[in-house]
Amino acid sequence: MNQNDSPLERKNKFDTAFNSILNIDKMDYPNWIAGIKFASAKDYVVSSPIDHSIQFGRFQQSEADLPNAVMPNLQQAFKDWSSIPMEQRIEMVSEAADILERNRYRLAATVSISAGMTERESLFEVDRLLDVLDDILEEAEDKPKGKPMGIWAVLSTYNSPLAGPLAYAMAAVLAGNVVLIVPPAECPMPLYMAYGAIAKGPLAGAISLATDPIGDMRRNLMDHPDLAGIAVCGSGELVDEAMFTHVDDDLGFVAEIKGMNPAVVLTHKNLGAVATMIIESAFSYSGQRMDSCSKVIVLERNFEPFLKALLKAAEAFTVGDPADSTVGTGPLASPQRTDEFLSLVKELAANVVHGGKALTDGFLNEGQFVSPAILLGLDDDHEFNTIDHSLPFLSVQTARDLDNALELVQGCETGVSAGVFSDVQEEVERFVAEVKADVVYVNSSNNCIAPATKAHLSEFRS
């Protein structure tokens, strides 16, 4: 589905859409439950991490008991939607995919302004969604086995503000279920824009949206006895709570979890090129993407030349306006994330060898811009070598040999990917064979890895 515009055409269309979204009228955005508007007693303002003065409008601070209040609506929606033949559901989802493709640049611009992604990253986010829709429509043509399960909760964080949650939602819906999507509280606008474009006819009843910046509604939703399944895409507290909830064997569960996405540098003749790819893997989307690399493991014998190359590559990696196609990354997702980053930098000050500062020059002072931090000398069992924080930190570890490097990889929250850099085929083959990760990449950055790797109809049918 990806469009084949030239770089100049892509830039012009993105810029036009970007300016259009910048000038969009502020609105009050309700929750949408089975095609009906639901408002709460309280709401909250959503602004851009690029510049706080850019505001989209007010979204709902959902009541904690919303799941109980709307469950009858969702149950009726499931009864109606699941009775529609697969052939008709295919037609409706195919039409929705066409609408989303026609709105490709507006969606990408909304992702960029809402979540701080660069032009390249935001277009990748939209195109990934379109690719998944192609895949599930093809899967549906083969008449997947099983039957719809019921009402699914689709939960997401800012790591993937559009592709992850909407891909899982559309897979669940095409499989015959209905979904209640809880968008990222910091950047719900991309999902609301997509919903506004495709929520027509019966499909509007199959997809529901409810924002929840506090989290109480989401927790009650996950615990609701009438829920058939949970799909979670993201990081942090949301993932921890969803994993804890998944104790009932009858509850469907699909999880795509951001981890450290570690990379290992073994025998390689061009450490400069490797360092550049590592920096891109670590700090694109300010270290917040599902595939962002949080630690790199390098053999002791290569440590000094690699560190020198890594710091040089970090100096060349730019942070700035995500609408500028020349910058490497944009801002963090929210003021809370910026405060957390700077607080952690302060705690880790003795181990920070690059970056770790708030950027305040010029217009950057109006947003959540920081210089990504490289950490050195932490113990192997330190939390920054074992647990991902979904922030622009890159910890450098050393390993004696390949055996030791594999131990260090397995000793952390791997997440969706792991990478190896080596000119020696035997090293690569062993790494690929032994590392446990959804995706293993070789001698490249991991920026080609996409969210929604588990968005298949088979995951949403019993």
* Lookup: tokens for 337: 């994330």
Q: What is the pLDDT of residue 250?
A: 80
Residues paired with 254 in a beta bridge: 231
Q: What is the pLDDT of residue 241?
A: 84
Mean of per-residue pLDDT scores for the chain = 95
422 to each of 123, 417, 432, how far by Cα in Å? Answer: 31, 17, 12
Main-chain dihedrals φ then ψ at residue 293, nearest 5 degrees? -85, 125
* Lookup: tokens for 372: 């990504």
Q: What is the mean pLDDT of residues 347-351?
A: 98
* Lookup: tokens for 391: 């922030």
Scored b (16 or more CB within 10 A) or e, 162-182 reads bbbbbbbbbbbbbbbbbbbbb
Residues paired with 233 in a beta bridge: 156, 256
Q: What is the pLDDT of residue 247?
A: 55
Whether 2 is covered by a domain: the verdict is no
* Lookup: tokens for 322: 């995500």
Whether 196 is covered by a domain: the verdict is yes
15 to each of 57, 105, 412, how far by Cα in Å? Answer: 22, 9, 40
* Lookup: tokens for 52: 């706080």
Q: What is the pLDDT of residue 324?
A: 87
Global pTM?
Answer: 0.95
Do both 17 and 157 map to the same domain?
yes
Do both 268 and 416 map to the same domain?
yes
The pLDDT > 70 percentage for the chain reads 98
> CATH no. for residue 395?
3.40.309.10
Q: What is the mean pLDDT of residues 322-346?
A: 94
Residue-wise pLDDT tens digits, 32-70: 999 999 999 999 999 999 999 999 999 999 999 999 999
Q: What is the pLDDT of residue 246?
A: 61
| Helix, strand or coil, per DSSP, at residue 202 | helix
Total number of domains in the chain? 2
Decide which of 240 and 168 is more confident.
Answer: 168
Main-chain dihedrals φ then ψ at residue 26, nearest 5 degrees? -65, 140
Q: How far apart are alpha carbons 355 and 394 in whole angstroms?
A: 10
Q: What is the mean pLDDT of residues 414-427?
A: 96
Do both 127 and 267 map to the same domain?
no
Scored b (16 or more CB within 10 A) or e, 60-95 reads bbbbeebbeebbebbeebbeebbeeeeeebbebbee
Q: What is the pLDDT of residue 236?
A: 83
Do both 343 and 411 map to the same domain?
yes
Decide which of 382 and 450 is more confident.
Answer: 382
Do both 290 and 304 map to the same domain?
yes
Residue-wise pLDDT tens digits, 251-302: 999 999 999 999 999 999 999 999 999 999 999 999 999 999 999 999 999 9
Where a domain ends, among 226, 257, 288?
257
Q: At residue 417, does pLDDT exceed 50?
A: yes
Main-chain dihedrals φ then ψ at residue 264, nearest 5 degrees? -120, 130
Whether 135 is covered by a domain: the verdict is yes
Do both 226 and 304 map to the same domain?
no
Decide which of 10 and 181 is more confident.
Answer: 181
Do both 306 and 376 map to the same domain?
yes
Whether 452 is covered by a domain: the verdict is no
455 confidence band (pLDDT: 50, 70, 90):
very high
Question: Domain limits at 164?
Answer: 7-257
Q: What is the DSSP string of 49-91?
A: SS-TT-EEEEEE---TTHHHHHHHHHHHHHHHHHTS-HHHHHH
Do both 183 and 127 map to the same domain?
yes
Do both 222 and 247 map to the same domain?
yes
The DSSP call for residue 25 is P
Q: How far apart are alpha carbons 252 and 270 in whole angstroms?
A: 46
242 confidence band (pLDDT: 50, 70, 90):
confident
Do both 282 and 392 map to the same domain?
yes
> CATH no. for residue 132?
3.40.605.10
Q: What is the mean pLDDT of residues 356-380?
A: 95
**144: Cβ–Cβ under 8 A, 6 or more apart, which residues?**
175, 457, 458, 461
Q: Helix, strand, coil shares of the chain as percentages rounded to 5?
A: 45, 20, 35
- Are 57 and 45 contacting, i.e. CB atoms less than 8 angstroms apart? yes
Q: What is the pLDDT of residue 3?
A: 61
Length of the chain in terms of residues written: 462
Q: What is the pLDDT of residue 1?
A: 45
Q: What is the pLDDT of residue 248?
A: 62
Q: How far apart are alpha carbons 455 and 231 in whole angstroms?
A: 9
